[in-house]
Structure 1
Amino acid sequence: MTQSRGRARFGILVPFTNTNLEPDMALLRPDGVSMHFARMGGYDQDEIPDADQMHGLGAADLDEPLHLLQGVRPDVILYGCTSATLTHGPAFDRALAERIKADSGAETVTAAGALVHALQTLGVNRIGFASPYVSAINDLAVGFLAETGFETVARSEVSDALDNYGQGNLDPQAVFDLGLATDHPEAEAIVLSCTDMRSVESIGRLEAEVRKPVISSNQAMMFQAMQLAGISEALPGYGQLLERERL
């Protein structure tokens, strides 16, 4: 029988228009882990989520959602927006994680930091990068990853500037196509960045096609959160990263 609680509590901060992070975490949830969500603002739902909007989200006051999330006494807190800290840079991302941990007492994972951690764990250096972001955010994302030691040898992006709901409405086939378009002979892994993109459902199929690891924001966050919670068993079906046991 599947156990829904008793092993660890994960508290997850999610942008208020995001519709896919919670379902993804339900798919990825390890046995015995309960998940608790608080929604955060700091951007305009009616604007295109460009670099300025996501920069604003990254700098937004987290006191209220973090206070509400602390009510469940989570063991690990996940900051569930990748582009919010990609637009600020690695130092900001690390400082945000440290601040959340200091304020909450919980171990902390950021989506952008989790991508870096996953790639380091896999020992890759060159990647293909795909996302539903506008080009300016992709430029910042590639720069962020370069600062943390990863060379982007190919990148794929959508042709139109998607609004907040357009990003979340991409279906798994569209995500698969986006990921496949960034495959490159020199890429050792494919990165699918965005917590509101339905990447988790496409990882296994895409890995079978490109024969290399595929990393998504939500999968990478779960991987790191499980490590921090001392949960070591493999989770099959969602890519090589989660199919390996964690020490």
Structure 2
Amino acid sequence: MTETRTAAKIGVLVPFTNTNLEPDLEMLRPPNTTIHFQRMGGYDVNEIPGSDQMAGLGASDISHDLRMISGVRPDVVLYGCTSATLTHGPSFDAELAQQIKSESGALSLTAAGSLIAAIKALGATKVGFSSPYLGEINVQAMDFMAQNGIETVRCADVGRKLGNYGQGELTPDDVYELACQADHPQAQAIILSCTDMRSVEAIDRIEATLGKPVVTSNQAMMFCLVRALNLPRHDALPGRLFDLL
């Protein structure tokens, strides 16, 4: 059946080295919607993405990017980098979402804000957390969640420094192992943070192994988008999170 392409236009701001957000969102895309990407700079591709670099990305001027993505007249704009606002805190994240809404005229959802909204939708207050970030960003991520009433009972990282391309080169098997390392008897959900990590493909396998819901950055943005726009659930949406729709 021919798609109408009239249900929603989805604009996405994506860091310019990210290679996995686009295919993930195409996999998750609701029928009759279209997705339009605008790449963001604001960081040095040759630096290890530490706290300062990610905070710099979050604070960079995105006015040009918003003008470009506004050209498609989007219904929603996703800010597709989790750590860029995790490193600043919840107030900054909310203010950035408001800036995007004001300048684009569209509903705005950030990756970090969506992660929190998805965890709260599941009713989880204790989580296992994993990411490809350096330790300092993980500490800031745990604080971000704590300020939202979510306790991290175990944190797992990859155990080595990954460059901007290294995060995206982790395989779904790598992500599965990382998620299992983040499990804890008290964890009510497993959180996989990073829009460039291939977490979406591992969700069903992780949930089958651990018996707990999994929340990933890209899945959480799509959950919040589908819920906010009141779009129907479809078969390509993985994980227990979407049972809440």
TM, length-normalised to structure 1: 0.97
Q: Which runs of 5+ in 2 are unaligned?
A: none
Q: Distance in 1 between matches of 2:236 and 2:128?
A: 23
SS at match of 1:128: strand
Say yes or no: does 1:169 pair with 2:160: no
Q: 1:23 aligns to what? A: 23
Q: Distance in 2 between matches of 1:14 and 1:162?
A: 19
Check the 8 A contact 2:27/2:236 in 1, yes or no: no
The one-letter code matched in structure 2 to 1:3 is E
- Identify if the C-alpha distance between structure 1 residues 96 and 104 changes in structure 2 by more than 3 Å, giving closer, same or farther: same
SS at match of 1:14: strand
State how 1:97-176 maps to structure 2 within 5 Å.
97-176=97-176
Q: Distance in 1 between matches of 2:209 and 2:134?
A: 26
The one-letter code matched in structure 1 to 2:190 is I
Check the 8 A contact 1:234/1:242 in 2, yes or no: no
**1:79 Cα deviation (Å)?**
0.1
Q: 2:34 aligns to what? A: 34
**1:4 Cα deviation (Å)?**
6.5
**1:242 Cα deviation (Å)?**
2.0
Q: Which runs of 5+ in 1 are unaligned?
A: none
Q: Distance in 1 between matches of 2:157 and 2:110?
A: 22
Q: What percentage of aligned pairs have identical amino acids? A: 54
- Identify if the C-alpha distance between structure 1 residues 154 and 244 changes in structure 2 by more than 3 Å, giving closer, same or farther: same
**1:99 Cα deviation (Å)?**
1.0
Check the 8 A contact 1:127/1:152 in 2, yes or no: yes
Q: Distance in 2 between matches of 1:39 and 1:179?
A: 28
State how 1:1-247 maps to structure 2 within 5 Å.
1=1, 3=3, 5-236=5-236, 238-245=238-245
The one-letter code matched in structure 2 to 1:64 is H
SS at match of 2:186: coil
User: Size of the alignment, in residue pairs?
Assistant: 245
Q: Distance in 1 between matches of 2:187 and 2:235?
A: 24
Check the 8 A contact 2:10/2:76 in 1, yes or no: yes
TM, length-normalised to structure 2: 0.98
SS at match of 2:165: helix
Check the 8 A contact 2:142/2:152 in 1, yes or no: yes
C-alpha RMSD over aligned residues: 1.1
Once the two structures are superposed, residues 105-129 of structure 1 have per-residue CA deviations (whole angstroms, 9 ceiling, x without a partner) of 1000000000000011111100000
Q: Distance in 2 between matches of 1:232 and 1:144?
A: 31
Check the 8 A contact 2:28/2:237 in 1, yes or no: no
Q: Distance in 2 between matches of 1:2 and 1:141?
A: 42
Q: Distance in 2 between matches of 1:4 and 1:198?
A: 29
**1:235 Cα deviation (Å)?**
4.1
Check the 8 A contact 1:93/1:110 in 2, yes or no: yes
Q: Distance in 1 between matches of 2:150 and 2:4?
A: 37
